[in-house]
Structure 1
């Protein structure tokens, strides 16, 4: 190897060493400088930094808010109705050194399962203290904040801050939904039967009242009619008695007319009388009976 080649090789080695001696921290990252696995420095400000090649190890962590979508979890609220809860969390690394000591080389991939266990435990704990109606209602912000606060306390040892927790959906399991629909259907049928029974009862009361009113009205009308008829008969009898007292012949004539009217009713009436019968005496002469 000649001198020029040795120079080029030396320059390449210097460049490689120089490149191995610097590292860049992005504004979205936090870097840890490790000396044989031990953290010696935490770098959170963006910029260009130096290290000892081959001896210093640089580990970078995302400093942004990260998502955590949990698996659907079955919880049992206070009233015993099981619910399928789908929740998610937003978190960030608040202490990179503590995070490194807690999760080791597994980094974010290793922290997610541990964080999910904390979140699931708090979901069960908080939702288990309230009725299912509160969980299913739209106004459950207080529950989510309570879950967030308690999960934040439990995750402090991991060097993690829980930024937010949200419940995406809370539903009854399929078998519970079918049972709930059956109970709702039975309840509606019971209410309908009660309404029909109350309607029939009201109809019977109205019908009985109407029948009683008819009977009372008819009885009252019959009583009034009998009274009027009795008064009319009394007046008629009084008139007839007065007429008889004044003119007996007129009374006999009137009674004969009534007898004619009664005997000649109908369209096919026949009378068989002897020629000398006294029945038509008042029709034979305008002077009356001889």
Structure 2
């Protein structure tokens, strides 16, 4: 009979003992709550103890967490508008303040509150600067200003903001089409200017080439005329020397040339006196002489 009562007592003791012990992982922090009030904070990994059935344990992340903000439309100092979002890294550093700030919402509630802080800090900082500075590669100073504001505001939440980075800085959708159209028009204008300059350069090259052709052709013709004149002069000199050395032979050659030109086979006839000097070298076997006029028999022209 005694064993019947001992076993339930032992089971109750084991359950009570197990309910009074909790384990904190090295990636977590723990709060012990009693009726919603914080009674114990345990930030080190290991075993912890609490009152069974009365106190409860709530665990929170001890690791660095990330937060991607929602896109924010910001008006810059130059009245230009940009869509900006940021990425932040944060960590819980004061569990008591964190519990009071987020109540039962935990890390999810903290993410919402931090996002609200950044959505206020980003326009506050970027609203005092220009687009060139925001879009430049060296915008560390702007991110440090946002980080300082976020750290100051997040201290009341029991968290520390470690870093803030601007991840996107784009034009609003309604401005993109106008911006692209303006860029396209500028590129088309530059292309038209380049085409016009190319056409002008082509005209200059073509005109220069035409002028060069005319100049070279004129120079070639002038040189040809000079050479032709020199050749004619040389020919005349040779003919003059030949005529001076043997006038009779020169007269014979001239007569043969005249015969070649005048007596063309098939359509050449000459009617003249038989004692004409033209027949000086045709009298005899080459011609037929009658009583009145003499008709020269057509003689084939010598082969050229």
Shorter-chain TM-score tier: 0.5 to 0.7
Q: 1:52 to 1:234 in 2, by over 3 A?
A: closer
Shift of 1:260: 3.5
Contact 1:84-1:173 within 8 A present in 2 as well: yes
Deviates more, 1:207-216 or 1:233-242: 233-242
Q: Which residue of 1 aligns with 2:237?
A: 238
Contact 1:79-1:132 within 8 A present in 2 as well: no
Contact 1:65-1:91 within 8 A present in 2 as well: yes
Q: Which residue of 1 aligns with 2:193?
A: 194
Partner of 1:271: helix, strand, or coil?
coil
Shift of 1:94: 0.9
Structure 1 counterpart of 2:272, from 266, 271, 274: 274
Contact 2:126-2:142 within 8 A present in 1 as well: no
Q: 1:48 to 1:40 in 2, by over 3 A?
A: closer
Q: Which residue of 2 aligns with 1:47?
A: 47
Shift of 1:211: 1.3
Shift of 1:107: 4.9
Structure 2 unaligned segments of length 5 or more: list them. Answer: 286-304
Q: Which residue of 1 aligns with 2:217?
A: 218
1:284 is the counterpart of 2:283: yes
Contact 1:126-1:143 within 8 A present in 2 as well: no
Query: Aligned ranges for residues 1-290 of structure 1 at < 5 Å?
Result: 22=20, 24=22, 26-27=24-25, 28-31=28-31, 33=33, 41-45=40-44, 46-50=46-50, 61-76=60-75, 82-103=81-102, 107-125=106-124, 129=129, 131=131, 135=135, 142=140, 146=144, 149-150=147-148, 151-167=150-166, 169-263=168-262, 269-274=267-272, 276=274, 277-284=276-283
Contact 1:75-1:83 within 8 A present in 2 as well: yes
Partner of 1:222: helix, strand, or coil?
helix
Contact 2:125-2:146 within 8 A present in 1 as well: no
Q: 1:245 to 1:50 in 2, by over 3 A?
A: closer
Shift of 1:264: 5.4
Q: 1:268 to 1:40 in 2, by over 3 A?
A: farther
The size of the alignment, in residue pairs, is 270
Shift of 1:116: 0.8
Shift of 1:226: 1.8
Partner of 2:271: helix, strand, or coil?
coil
Q: Aligned-residue CA RMSD in angstroms?
A: 4.4
Q: Which residue of 1 aligns with 2:299?
A: none
Shift of 1:161: 1.2
Cα offsets for 1:85-122 (capped at 9, x unmatched): 34333322211233344455655454333311222234
Deviates more, 1:201-210 or 1:184-193: 184-193
Deviates more, 1:148-157 or 1:77-86: 77-86
Shift of 1:23: 6.8
Contact 1:77-1:132 within 8 A present in 2 as well: no
Contact 1:72-1:85 within 8 A present in 2 as well: yes
Deviates more, 1:207-216 or 1:269-278: 269-278
Cα offsets for 1:33-71 (capped at 9, x unmatched): 57885x5653323533345987x7876544343443322
Partner of 1:182: helix, strand, or coil?
helix
Shift of 1:167: 4.8
Deviates more, 1:234-243 or 1:143-152: 143-152
Q: Distance in 2 between matches of 1:285 and 1:142?
A: 124
Cα offsets for 1:109-162 (capped at 9, x unmatched): 543333112222343455564646964x8x679479636733334322322112
